[in-house]
Chains A and B, each alone.
Chain A
């Protein structure tokens, strides 16, 4: 019992993060499939429309953002569901560590494993849409901040649907309307940059939204996990 009390909040946070990162690497297909889907849908868009270089450049940032969100939604289901099924969520609820700290660690781990790979893939996918290097870098930058915000908002949805049946569709239905500001800020920043406007405003706004989500998401997720696992 004493050893539990000696574990500081920061240590608990680190252990949770490490455990989640390790846990996810054991199930690689769960990580890879949404990423493959991201590439595949991005590649199938040009088949459906006129392959005109200008047109691809115009729709590129928006399409990549939407596909990123959609493939990201597929990963959210695993955020708390696995822990609930194998019972480790109960230990999290019972532990001496504050639950918001633990959920924040889980959110960060989820972002590392689902958000960052999207950011890394983004420059390659940009090639499909004939985006220039600066545009594709800016797009990656917006995705970098935006996916963290997505992880934060998605965590709320995942914790709300923890006790629901067939929750993948429901989860998307709940999370998608709330992520619209992220989509607007993220994709429009790139579009405005393409049209010769400054991109700083958009970056500030998406950063502000991310901080805003950070201020409430771990607490809301923790509260709904407590209610949901009753």
Chain B
């Protein structure tokens, strides 16, 4: 296991193995997505309370999962990069940020569209998930802005990783601060999303779309990390050899 991890930390090895893995993630992810979307949109029965409006769950939940997962992964990669000085962790963090921001945006937009028929409003300030998701979007954007403002790549890596970590300890605090306040203050009862447990015929397509979106996300991420790795090591020998070997260039 350790030798595998050690190998993965080498940019050259990572480049070649991710090149092989990426299409697999993409094709399996696409197949699962197709299965999940068709089943979710056509074959799953309408919800007894929300009728057909619940079907946005097949987009919203995967996007929300990934936005949170990406941030946690970025925080872990930042720790790895700062403590063990593994360069590929920084390449991972910097290329995951914009994907994470897009999925967060998607989760917010679909959540808002879902909220309109369900809660009767596009936006509900009393819901901690909504507000912490919005602030997470700003943390992603702040991370990207901070990176863009520093010319030196190594400096940008370290400083923006510190920012990610400071943000990571604040996201739960934001979540609970909204919860604390709304539990004291709320007068109208919202329709909670996590109501009765979900039926199997709805759950299976949901799992398929979640896993499918994750695989799709991973393959996109690998492509981005590979581009980042090859850009960062553009002066090194193995990248030159790689480009010279490529007949298409």
Taking Cβ atoms with an 8 Å cutoff, the residues of A that contact B are 156, 160-161, 163-167, 170, 173-174, 176-178, 180-181, 184-185, 188, 192, 197, 201, 205, 209, 212, 216, 220, 223-224, 227-228, 230
Contacts and interface: CB of A to CB of B under 8 A. Distances in A.
Given A174-B146, A224-B159, A230-B155, A184 B181 contact: yes
A124 B211 CA distance: 57
A173 B142 contact: yes
Interface of B: 135, 138-139, 141-142, 145-146, 149-150, 152, 155, 158-160, 162-163, 166-167, 169-170, 173-174, 177-178, 180-181, 184-185
B159 A160 contact: yes
Given A164-B149, A177-B142, A178-B170, 10 more contacts: A160-B162, A163-B150, A173-B141, A173-B142, A176-B138, A177-B170, A178-B166, A184-B177, A184-B178, A228-B155
Which 7 residue pairs across A and B have the least CB separation, nearest first?
Answer: A164-B149, A177-B138, A184-B177, A181-B177, A174-B142, A227-B158, A177-B135
B166 A165 contact: no
A153 to B, nearest CB: 8
Contacts of A227: 155, 158-159, 162
A198 to B, nearest CB: 10
A160 B173 contact: no
Contacts of B178: 184
B135 A161 contact: no
Contacts of A201: 184
A165 B151 CA distance: 9
A71 B196 CA distance: 47
19 contacts: A160-B163, A163-B152, A163-B155, A167-B149, A170-B146, A170-B149, A174-B142, A174-B163, A177-B142, A184-B174, A188-B181, A188-B185, A205-B180, A216-B169, A220-B166, A227-B158, A227-B162, A230-B152, A230-B155
A161 B166 contact: no
A216 B138 CA distance: 22
